[in-house]
Structures are given as C-alpha cells and as structure tokens.
A and B are shown apart, each in its own frame.
Chain A
Amino acid sequence: MAKVKIEIKGIFGFIVVVLGAVLGALGGAENSNKSFRRVLIPLILTGFAYLNTQSILVLTIMSMCGALSIGYGIPDSTDEGSALGRFWFNLFKKNEILANIFTRGTIGLLIGLSLISVSIINQSWLFYGIGCIGIILTNSLISWQNWGQYTLFNRKLNWSDTVNWGVITFFGVLIIILK
C-alpha cells in the first residue's frame, strides 16, 4: 500500500514538474503574462505540498511570488536593470556573467527559502539542503543561457526557461515528497 502511495505521489509530482516547465517558459515568452510564472507555479506547488502534508503552514510557499517578482535584469545600454541586478553588476565591476549568476542565485536562494515550511513539517533537512543547492545551481547557471526557442500555444518559448523551471519544480517536488 505504501508503495502505491509513493507511486501516486510520483505521478502527481511528474505532472507538477511538466506544468512548472511549461508555465515557467510561458511566463518568460514575449507578449506573454509573467503571472503564469509568478503566481501559478507557487500556487501549484502550494497545492501539491498541502496534499502531501495536510498542513495549512505550507501557505508560506506563496511567498515565492515575491521572489519571482523581484526582477533579475542586468544593466545594459537599453535597460537600467533591476536593483538586485545593478547591485551585483557594480559589485563585480561590470562583469556580466558573474552578475547574472549571482543575481539569479539570490533569487534561487529565496525560492528555496519559500519552501522551508515543508521541511519544518517533514523534518527533512538534508533533502531540503540538497533541493536548495539544486534550485540555486539551476537558476544561477541555466536561466540566463540562450538555448534557442520553440513554438507552443502560438508563443515563442525559450528552451532554457523550460529546462530551468522544469528542474526547479523537480527539486521543489523532491523537497515536498521525500522525508
């Protein structure tokens, strides 16, 4: 019975990962609404965490909306960038790659922190640590890459956004499921 339960969790987790990948890419597409990413991904993860923990404490996962709304722009000739982007850009003496890595790494850290309530309930700190390292690594090293585009729902979506959000939601699902 326990094995069946784990398999059902796995199937639901897989659906969450696919939804996360598509919504993350939709949120980053041109002429699209960023709310796909900023609101729907935290909402889906919160729902999934509630199904797994039956605790209302997991509502704190919705704080991920804040982390995703900060803005990660690096200053250039056309854009003054976000406050966070400007901070790292100036700290690394206008090194664009390092600024990108640390700006997105900071956001990855905040995404990881928003999932902390699940670990408080599950007492699964090692999995939480691994999940956070995975989320930070993924967001800081994949999200700003240019891997080309594909068309879905009449929108041009980025491959890097799809992979990035798929892997981030995968680590989120791991943190929620494993204990």
Chain B
Amino acid sequence: MNNINPFLIISIILNLCASGWYFYKSGVVLGLLFLGYAFCSLISLFIKIH
C-alpha cells in the first residue's frame, strides 16, 4: 500500500463530494454518475501499473 496514487485519492474524495451534492439537491441521476466514477477510482487504487 506504499504506492498509493494521490490523484486517485483526490479523485475519490471529489467524486464522493459531487455525488453527495447532487443527491442532496435531489439530482439522483448525476448523484449516481459521480458515485460510479468514485467506484472506478476506488478500484483503480488496487491495480498496479506495469
């Protein structure tokens, strides 16, 4: 876990914030979209680039 990419951490946080914002504003569609992007960033954390 030493090689965690900081850009991915930022991406997860920003996407989760955007998702929360849209859900709060009852924009369910865009809330789901950013939640999905956050999921993609989260999974990318566990992939090693060759």
Contact = CB atoms under 8 A, between A and B. Distances in A.
Interface residues of A, number: 15
Contacts of B29: 97, 101, 141, 145
A130 B33 contact: no
B31 to A, nearest CB: 10
A126 B37 CA distance: 15
B50 A179 contact: yes
Interface string A116-141: 00000000001101100110011001
B15 to A, nearest CB: 11
Contacts of B44: 127, 130
A40 B40 CA distance: 27
Interface residues of B, number: 13
Contacts of A142: 33
B30 interface: yes
Contacts, number: 32
Contacts of B30: 141
B28 to A, nearest CB: 10
Contacts of A101: 29
B43 A130 contact: yes
A20 B34 CA distance: 21
Instruction: State the 4 A-B residue pairs at the shortest beta-carbon distance, nearest first.
Output: A137-B36, A141-B33, A130-B40, A126-B47
Interface of A: 97, 101, 126-127, 129-130, 133-134, 137-138, 141-142, 145, 178-179
